[in-house]
Structure 1
Amino acid sequence: MTAIQSLMPDAETGLLGTDPSATESAGTYVTAGGYADTLTPGELLDRICESGLRGRGGAGFPAAVKLRTVREAGGSPVVVANGEEGEPGSAKDRWLLRARPHLVLDGLARAAAITGARTAYVYVSDPAAAERVKAALGEWPPDVPVEIVETAHTYVAGEETAVVRRIDGGPALPTSKPPRPYQEGVGGRPTLIANVETLARIALIAARPEERGHRTSRSTLLTLSSGTAQPLLTEAPYGTTLRELATAQGTPDACGALMGGLFGGLIGADSLNLPLDPTTLTAAGTSLGCGAIRFLGPGECPASVAADAVDHLAAQSARQCGICVAGTSSISTTLAALATGRADGDAPEKLLRWSSSLPGRGACGLLDASAGTAGSLLRIFPSLVRSHLDGPCPGCASSPPDGRRLTVPVPKITGIRSSETRIPRPSPAP
């Protein structure tokens, strides 16, 4: 089971709250200042811009820019809370929807007010999350009509064009871009697709206008795991080092990590001194992505972890793009052969060629993630790659590639956190 522990100086100010194993009720949320009319939509947009809040879905795009772009697009905009986390090592979004649905719905309603949207969706693949959101909508109907759209859980289902396609009644599969959803999304209308953590942080900025959003924008939810210790869902401020995170997760002697879910590639032990900061990590050649970090514990081989990652990606291919199907499969097969000591002598050369020639050639980022993982293994652990040409290391020999090892379960929610304060139930929006 995944543990929960806040690394924030003051847990009450973060997303995890004081009781992360329970679902908050509408009464609890309102008593704590939720759904309050603290700022006008325009003022809130200015605060979001001033805070520097970036999206928490993986790309890290400035939240204010996305909001303003949809707002200025005209027409009848749509807003979507994207809770479909396809990364196997991430559990934060499903936890948020199960434990703090009102925080997410508050942020969704504020995004609708900022953009002028009169239609909103919550997009999920987790049945437990869908039930909690449905219950929360019954407790406190928002000003904008909200529809829950469920989908099958796959790696590509949360990609923004796949979200649009599924809401419009099609399969949850990516489409070519442009147009992007902010230009032409659900029903052909300008559409804001925002990660649920991003929306939750927008709600926190609105609830604490005196803080001006700086503290809220400079912390993030993280799903930490390894092959040697229990997974951990945590919240940490920017500036916390990766080594400190590894220690908190129970892998203090980590020799590296797989970063950003499956998008940040592998890093070595020397990079664990890097601070948790998207800009710094990008400059160092890696990525925070969706906040999922898998540390390499004692006895774990980077070649095996890379093979696990691409094994998962190959199994999750949408099978729409021939170059992705062939490329990801080739990388997966070659990494598996390398990890198990069966690779030909030209395996490193082939992996290097694919890592540089394949990115950007698929409809979504799955092929990029596969190529990036292979490239980082060659770049960070070259001597290890060469040694595997002569035979597998003990760790790889006893553990053939299996992408299922990367999956992290959602922390258990044990009850409902209620407030003694009675609140009037609002009327549904017309």
Structure 2
Amino acid sequence: MHTRPRSHPGTAAPVLPEDSLAYALLTTAQLVADVVAGGTLTESLAKLWIARPATPPGVRGAILDLAYGTLRDFGRQDFILDKLLQKPLQEPVQSLLRVALHRLDTRPDTAHTTVDQAVSAAATVLGGNFKGVANGVLRNALRQAVDLNKAADADMVSEFRHPAWWIRRIRTQYPDNWRSILAAGNTHPPMALRINPLRATRDETLESFAEAELPVCVLPNGALLLERPVPVARIPGFVEGCVSVQDAGAQYAALHLDLADGQRVLDACAAPGGKTAHILESADVMLTALDTDPARARRVSENLDRLGLKANVKTADCRDLNRWWNGRPFDRILADVPCSASGVVRRNPDIKWLRRSDDIARFAAQQKEILEALWQVLAPGGKMLYVTCSVFAEENREQIAGFAARHPDCRRLSIADQPDCQYLPCAEHDGFFYSLLEKTP
């Protein structure tokens, strides 16, 4: 991917060959610029693939790697650019420099190629007016690398690659391991799988992975952790519904819910359906799955179809009981509520920069409303598992403590001999919070 741009008849700017690094750098820069403007990476990627459906897999992979990597390192790039520029450049040139700096940091062996291709990309935007600036900034970044990195390591946001408010919150709430939590948020996420016992045994699955030369290890909760992530097309038994991709931390939900055959179960915020499917794989229950968005509800149904599972999937806000509840209480409720997603930020690195400190209080208020509504549909003696993929106490332990204080009929049940369970992000799984509540008769 090292090709000079070619001129295109009838246009002033050159056109970048699709298989060039310059093309990947510029396309990624446009994605990052969308995030800077307040959009999400997921939405921008969806629009990109719709607009460019014929993008070759190799090019698509290069764009994804650059986009996720750049957003994980975002705070550091802006610190360095602030040292090298008098003022920020217009988008997408500013983001093009961010992407190029990320690649210079992660691929120092290809520094010359990165600078050359970034300059070629800059020549195609804004009339090529910033071609010389891009060249100068990147070459200065290389020449001053030692001093710039030393200064960057002394800056909180640059060193930990998270917003200042986020760092302060984590440091206050986790004084003993805040550094490891932040570091985990900047890593590549692990890839874990869940075995569908209705279609395959563990021994059969492990044998098929050995034959495919895909090393895996079995975690304490039964999840399979791949030694390295691979495309789902390479996963034995995926198409047949024998296994599903699901983070190992998320696989605790069905285990902690205390399921039994014949129960009426509600998955209140079900999409994309991983936990829904795990519940149905674990016990023969009558399950209702809700989601507010029709497209996301369809995805739940599609995932269940692949696995040969059945549920009553509805599109509704779980708080609007009149819209979906028939008056029959549930024995078990999974309340996997909307949250800051601070425990899965390495999978969605744009979240770090799109979230604001006061968002946490808004999520907490929404979670409170959901808990209050769902408690009404839980049968006496029934159990509700409250789940977030957050590491912030306001959404987790503080939320549950407040709910229990308001409800004398709420009994907090232990999980693994603890009042609740906060799984922190690590090499094996993402960050999740679990609290099991029983409604006393």
TM-score by length of 1: 0.28
Larger Rg over CA atoms: 2
TM-score by length of 2: 0.28
Structure having the larger proportion of residues in helix: 2
